[in-house]
Amino acid sequence: MSEFVTLTIDGKEVKAPKGATVLEAAKSAGIHIPTLCFLKDINEIGACRMCIVDVGARSFQAACAYPVSEGLNVITNSPKIRETRRVTLELILSNHDRECLTCVRSQNCELQKLAKELNVKDIRYEGENQEFPIDDLSPSIVRDPNKCVLCRRCVSVCNEVQSVGAIGVVDRGFNSTVSSPFNFALNDTPCVNCGQCIVVCPVGALYEKSSVEKVWDALANEDLHVVVQTAPAVRAALGEEFGYPIGTRVTGKMVAALKRLGFAKVFDTDTAADLTIMEEGTELVERIKNNGKLPLITSCSPGWIKFCEHNYPDMLDNLSSCKSPQNMFGAVLKSYYAEKMGIDPSKIFVVSVMPCTAKKFEAGRPELASTGYPDVDEVITTRELAQMIKEAGIDFMNLPDEQFDDPMGEATGAGVIFGATGGVMEAALRSVPYLLTGKDDENIDIKVVRGVEDFKEAELEVNGIKIKAAVVHGLGNARKLLDKIRSGEAEYHFIEVMACPGGCVNGGGQPIQPASVRNETDLRTERAKAIYEEDEAMTIRRSHQNPRVLKMYEEYFEKPGSEKSHKLLHTHYVARENYPEN
């Protein structure tokens, strides 16, 4: 039991646990204090001074960082406090590029909302303004320091949560900026393109490199057969862009919208996820049987792959050689599907809708073009898809539910759960017994690997072979586990790593929820519910029972791990330098 203290906030007696902040105590008493830099568990540093309150000290204190104490008397609202907050906000705004109408975050901007809330009518400060070049050299992330409010959420998520450390605060005073060291473009840093910086940014200082125009162009090109695949996590979050509650599954409407946008075929990346399980499960079984390199580590998450290439180049052989489902699907579409449908693969244009910004980088990897053409031509995020749907004037809410197209649309519950942390592991464990013995284990729901705990473990015994598995999500957690494996402190056969906390449902390409929502709701858990709901509703829930996947092996790939599947469905990795030489 935690101890409680009693304090007074705006004349109201409030009980709060010892160690709580004034902000938390006020919140529990129904008193709203404005915040800007504050993001629960990620950034609690009192940098922006929006949440200042009077605690009877010489100067106003930041409520998000000031601890409660017995008998403390707090005033959150007085003419002087309101004026001080407004002046601070005006100063922030005076050095902010206020092109709000054309800003990517227009109407979803925490700064804009705050300016309205604090009734800023005029910005009284005109002075020197900083002008920075926009860094748009990365295939995934654009950085516009002219919009940055120096809240440091991105720095915190990049350094503390992800342990990537590609950006930091540089210089001092008026010259302070968030930047990569030596002003390198993000592309020239150990940035893994996870985009967690984007989803925590309160303003438009960080956003994805848009492919919307390129997709429109392809759709308008009559020579092209434009197909689209959607990752499992997209359906669990797209609805948020259209006013649905967080965690609403909108699979049918999403498919309907994609058909109306003009895609020739709408496919489900889950089909390729099932294919991944066949290939990766076989790889695991072979490595265990033949004393191969263990642990085997999953390779679905492109942010994780780049992180490994930068930080654990000695462990690249531990990575599964399987391409990610996105790229497997691309390769299948330009080989098997092209043959089956009699379409020249050069005319097939594959668009992926992903919850992920790192997928954009992945699609551009030169080695991922097994058919001689890039596996995937363009990647758009969940946000970009929502943008296209709005731009096309589609009334999303009133769309009927429609089905993925044949012949590549069949998927299983195992494919769907790839979108949440632990999902790939659960899907694999649903199939590994079959791959080892030809028989299924009774157990289909492997709940120990579900949920948002930092680290999860599972053990499976089949025919006397013990398989020890671990699941981590968020690269900071991955680093901790990898260090233990490197030092020999931990031993596993199979590890699932997802770059983003919570897995793909919380990816850097997902709808952006403001701090006011994120502080109250665990997006990871809510969106994952939609994923597991879809899994439950599926008649087939094991990858090796996917009829399309079985047919593909029968008609084309022969068997998992065959020469043909190695050529088209597998890849290799490269050690990467963190920064250029000079």
Partner 1 sequence: MSCTGCCADNKLKELEKIIEKYKDIRGALIPVLHEAQELYGYLPLSVQKKIAEGLNIPLSEVYGVVTFYTQFSLNPKGKYKISVCLGTACYVKGAGEIYDKISEILNIKSGECTPDGLFSLDACRCIGACGLAPVITINEDVHGRLTVDDVPGIIQKYIDKEKEAKDQEKLVEA
Q: Which residues are catalytic?
A: 280, 283, 300, 320, 359, 362, 367, 504
**In the set 181, 292, 514, 547, which binds partner 1 (CB under 8 A)?**
181
Provide, rounded to whole angstroms, the least separation between the CB of residue 169 and partner 1: 5
The answer to whether the beta carbons of residues 191 and 141 sit under 8 Å apart is yes
Residue 82 or 480: the one with the smaller Cβ distance to partner 1 is: 480
Q: Is 165 in the site for partner 1 (CB under 8 A)?
A: yes
Helix (H) or strand (E) holding 286: helix 269-289
Region from 89-97, 167-175, 324-332, 461-469 binding partner 1, contact rule CB under 8 A? 167-175
**In the set 75, 81, 118, 170, which binds partner 1 (CB under 8 A)?**
170
Helix (H) or strand (E) holding 459: strand 455-462
Residue 189 or 230: the one with the smaller Cβ distance to partner 1 is: 189
**Site size with partner 1, rule: CB under 8 A:** 17
Residue 74 or 166: the one with the smaller Cβ distance to partner 1 is: 166
Q: Which of residues 438-457 bind partner 1 (CB under 8 A)?
A: none
Q: Burial level of 93, CB count in 10 A (0-12/13-18/19+)?
A: middle
Q: Which of residues 217-246 bind partner 1 (CB under 8 A)?
A: none
Query: Which single residue is written with the structure tokens 């363009």?
Result: 378
Residue 190 or 423: the one with the smaller Cβ distance to partner 1 is: 190
Provide, rounded to whole angstroms, the least separation between the CB of residue 47 and partner 1: 14
Helix (H) or strand (E) holding 379: strand 378-381
Q: Is 169 in the site for partner 1 (CB under 8 A)?
A: yes
| Residue 530: both structure tokens together | 């939609």
Q: What is the distance between the alpha carbons of residues 221 and 352, in angstroms, rounded to a whole number? A: 17
Omega cis (within 30) before 407: yes
**No. of helices (H) and no. of strands (E), the chain:** 21, 17
Residue 148 or 389: the one with the smaller Cβ distance to partner 1 is: 148
Query: Which single residue is written with the structure tokens 């901790």?
Result: 480
Q: What is the distance between the alpha carbons of residues 554 and 558, in angstroms, rounded to a whole number? A: 5
| Residue 541: both structure tokens together | 């829930």
Residue 160 or 554: the one with the smaller Cβ distance to partner 1 is: 160
Helix (H) or strand (E) holding 389: helix 382-391
Provide, rounded to whole angstroms, the least separation between the CB of residue 61 and partner 1: 24
The count of other CB atoms within 10 Å of the CB of residue 77 is 14
Provide, rounded to whole angstroms, the least separation between the CB of residue 577 and partner 1: 10
CA neighbor of 31 nearest in space, from 42, 43, 22: 22
CA neighbor of 69 nearest in space, from 105, 143, 109, 18: 18
Q: Is 579 in the site for partner 1 (CB under 8 A)?
A: yes
**In the set 4, 125, 182, 455, which binds partner 1 (CB under 8 A)?**
182
Residue 4 or 579: the one with the smaller Cβ distance to partner 1 is: 579
Q: Is 578 in the site for partner 1 (CB under 8 A)?
A: yes
- Count how many residues are written for the chain: 582
Q: Is 171 in the site for partner 1 (CB under 8 A)?
A: yes
Residue 164 or 549: the one with the smaller Cβ distance to partner 1 is: 164
Q: Is 582 in the site for partner 1 (CB under 8 A)?
A: yes
The answer to whether the beta carbons of residues 248 and 521 sit under 8 Å apart is no
Q: Is 167 in the site for partner 1 (CB under 8 A)?
A: yes
Provide, rounded to whole angstroms, the least separation between the CB of residue 569 and partner 1: 35
**In the set 37, 166, 186, 504, which binds partner 1 (CB under 8 A)?**
166
CA neighbor of 168 nearest in space, from 146, 188, 153, 149: 153
Q: Is 172 in the site for partner 1 (CB under 8 A)?
A: yes
Residue 121 or 172: the one with the smaller Cβ distance to partner 1 is: 172
Q: Which of residues 186-205 bind partner 1 (CB under 8 A)?
A: 189
Binding pattern for the stretch 536-555 against partner 1, x by CB under 8 A and - elsewhere:
--------------------
- Measured over the CA atoms of residue 409, residue 412, residue 418 and residue 424, the dihedral's sign is negative
Region from 40-48, 163-171, 357-365, 537-545 binding partner 1, contact rule CB under 8 A? 163-171
Q: What is the distance between the alpha carbons of residues 375 and 322, in angstroms, rounded to a whole number? A: 14
Provide, rounded to whole angstroms, the least separation between the CB of residue 183 and partner 1: 9
Q: What is the distance between the alpha carbons of residues 192 and 162, in angstroms, rounded to a whole number? A: 10
Region from 62-70, 119-127, 179-187, 509-517 binding partner 1, contact rule CB under 8 A? 179-187
Q: What is the distance between the alpha carbons of residues 193 and 404, in angstroms, rounded to a whole number? A: 29
Q: Which of residues 323-382 bind partner 1 (CB under 8 A)?
A: none
Provide, rounded to whole angstroms, the least separation between the CB of residue 158 and partner 1: 8
Q: What is the distance between the alpha carbons of residues 265 and 229, in angstroms, rounded to a whole number? A: 9
Q: Which of residues 123-162 bind partner 1 (CB under 8 A)?
A: 159
**In the set 81, 86, 113, 168, which binds partner 1 (CB under 8 A)?**
168
| Residue 448: both structure tokens together | 């120990």
- Sequence-distant (6+) residues with CB within 8 A of 87 are none
Q: What is the distance between the alpha carbons of residues 431 and 448, in angstroms, rounded to a whole number? A: 16
Output the CA–CA distances (angstroms, integers) from residue 475 to 162, 369, 472, in the order listed: 4, 27, 8
Provide, rounded to whole angstroms, the least separation between the CB of residue 281 and partner 1: 36
Region from 107-115, 170-178, 208-216, 419-427 binding partner 1, contact rule CB under 8 A? 170-178
Q: What is the distance between the alpha carbons of residues 81 and 148, in angstroms, rounded to a whole number? A: 24
Query: Which residues of the chain form contacts with partner 1 (CB under 8 A)?
Result: 159, 164-172, 180-182, 189, 578-579, 582
